[in-house]
Chain A
Amino acid sequence: MRFRFSHSIILIPVVFLSFFFIYPLASILVRSLEGNTDFVFVPFRTLFVDSYYLGRIWFTIWQATISTIMSVVVALPIAYFFARCDFPGKTFLKALCTLPFVMPTIVVAMGFLSLFGAQGLINTLLMKIFELDKPPIMLSNTLAIIIIAHVFYNYAVVVRIVSSFWSSLDSQLEDTAKILGGSRIQVLCRVTLPLISPALISSSALAFAFSFTSLGVVLVLGGPQFATLEVSIYELTTKLFRLPLAAALSVVQLGFTYLVLFVYTRYQKMASMQLGLQSRGERLHSYGRPIRGIFIVAMVVYIFCLLSPLGALIFRFFAETREYLPFLFIGLFSDQAGSYFYLSPIIVIWNSVKFALCTVIISTIVGVIIAYRLSGSQGSISGIFDSLFMMPLGMSAVTLGYGYLISFNRDPFDLRGSWIILVIAHSIVAYPFVVRSVLPVINSMDKSLKDAAKLLGASQSRIFLSVELPIILPAILVGATFAFAVSMGEFGSSLMLLRPENATIPIAIFKFLGLPGEVNVGRALAMSGLLMIIVSLSFMAIEKFRYKGSGGF
């Protein structure tokens, strides 16, 4: 085969991943296991003999399964809504919908507490109405709240990826089915669901991987009674310093994620068919006006119910701080105590946005190239590679953080304390989102469009820019949105050494909640509010980038 630029470009993600994922991962695993002079497999044996760890593995699997199913069920109506309805303020509502994904777990936990807690809004209300002396709903530290939190975090992933795919589907297929006499439910089950299944599979794989490796949610909301694999790895690595066992657990987690993703990608390959994907919207549904109006109102109410924990936080902020709101903001923007670690919120926000945008750029480039190459390859090998490229999703953030520490600690790559390493770590977690949201679209693209362009004499790059890019751009934007969100939400950042001047919004929030006192709660909530505002605005801005003339996705 003749050398082509489009083939060699795959080297960019390959080099990037070898250097920043495989190398640090291998270093820490080797380092952890080399202490065992007798036999490397001893920690693995401990793992499978100790019923405690077997229990952890089992628990991790089933809680992730339930969380994923629930996320999909909760998300589907919204995905349909965004795909098939246009109304003013849609961009804003979509941005709001994606907010939970970014919020630090301790803030979300406080939101749940303000809503469902013993002194939360719902319990207070119920106690007043029914004159009870004990709060009727007790969810704190239960399995239920962990699952609810996973749904709260992950439904947006399903909503965004599925609705983006769905909206580019030609609604004629559904209309035809209806004309041929299919009932609404028949059409849904036999036409629509099979059609959207590539995106559904893709996004639920992400939701599963995220619930599977969940750390913060389980730690903060459930407590150590509900340890997942990732929680065990975290405890063994950072606290107990039993690296061999932690390494063995990381390998098990990675291996299991690989298996699951492999099955997923096989199904995705089977499910995808060439569809007439369009870059413009002409697919609004044929409901009558009043029904459509009612539907929109119902969906908006539904979405606001989902977001109510964040609403409860805002309510709590204004209820608790009304006496000293001005003081609070003066204290936030100028530091009377003169702390060495004080940073103005403006610098903190700039840091967060800077890291997030760099993450978006790196992960979009890496993700799109991978998705593009994967769509081109055929057969069972592509499944193996597809799931290999998704491996960072199953990676324990703790293990990777320690891997960076021992891999990049000597010149010329002494990256400890530098923000670059943070952006790279974020990109490693973020690019699978780009791949997963772009891949179903590329796979389902009508190849005849490309062939027609080729026949008309267009060059490879011209075809990409004029034919393919307009169709996959919405999916890239969805991926970019999540890349931005991953970085803003600071996944695993506390595991890196970070200079104080590089503090981000979540770090500032954690700092305030590290001390007792109402003012600290107020400041943490104020910073959370700022985070919500910045992130919503950014999501809306990302939506704005699109081709001239292509309709409103």
Chain B
Amino acid sequence: MVKSFERLSRRDFLKFCGGAAAALGLSELFTAEMIAEALESAAKKPPLIWLEGQDCAGCTISLISVENPGPASLILDKISIRYHETIMAASGHMAEKVREETIKEGGYVLVVEGAIPSADDRFCMVGGRPFREIAIETAKNAAAIIGVGACSAFGGIPRGTPTKGVPLSKVLPGKAIINLPTCPVHMDHLMGTIVYFLVTHKAPRLDKLGRPLMYFGMSVHDNCRRRGHFDEEEFLTDWNDPKQRDWCLLEKGCKGPEAYADCSIRRWNNGINFCIDAGAPCQGCSEPGFYDEYSPLYAMGPVTDRILAKKAAGLIPRKENT
């Protein structure tokens, strides 16, 4: 059997698996040895098709923002990226042919970035064909389907535009889809979900909206370090005031109590920072209402009013998403 990791020493490889488990929040679920065994026993690198619909490629850029495992090992060693418009060498017919052959082969992971226009197919055409048809055709033989980013998971920003963008679930009724919202997709969520699938050949446990509970099981507010100031009703009004530097961002439009995601503890970009720590309110990009239902983004509005009413009624305890 051809081993995909034969070029790495055993020690390096276990180190990679352990690091991946820790970085991706999987260490409670799998040991490094379990991940190693799953990846080693694969006859070949798992094939991946990544489609881009009405997207901004932000999720792609998020994918190549992970430090460990780094993008080089991801692109060349860990998965076989058969089709990805932003990364692949091939163009035109040559690119489309690879996609068709991979579909025939089957057993690939399909990742879809971007929404699909429902107002008219002609708002998103690839290789002269409607993107909607391409998505349906490519989903046919996929072993797992992952909708990345707010657009693919819930329609995101394109939903409110004249092109009426819809989520992947709308064009693939009845198909099991793992939704990884946030705008863009969190790099750890994506890598971790792929590793989870490679180890178990199953989707992780999902909530009602198709989001893995291991990443979306808590609200942003639950573990926010500004939470004490929320309880004390100390709301930041002036970004220049060092005294207010860590105060609650509710008055600046923070949607944290309504947003389910582990950003407050995982943070972003290899743990360096995240929206709220940078003084910017959470805009609820993990939720189906994002963006149009969450406007105004930087002011008090219906969402923050609702949050304050719940707070007054004692209804914002720590609770789990199930």
Pair from one complex: no
B: residues with CB less than 8 A from A are none
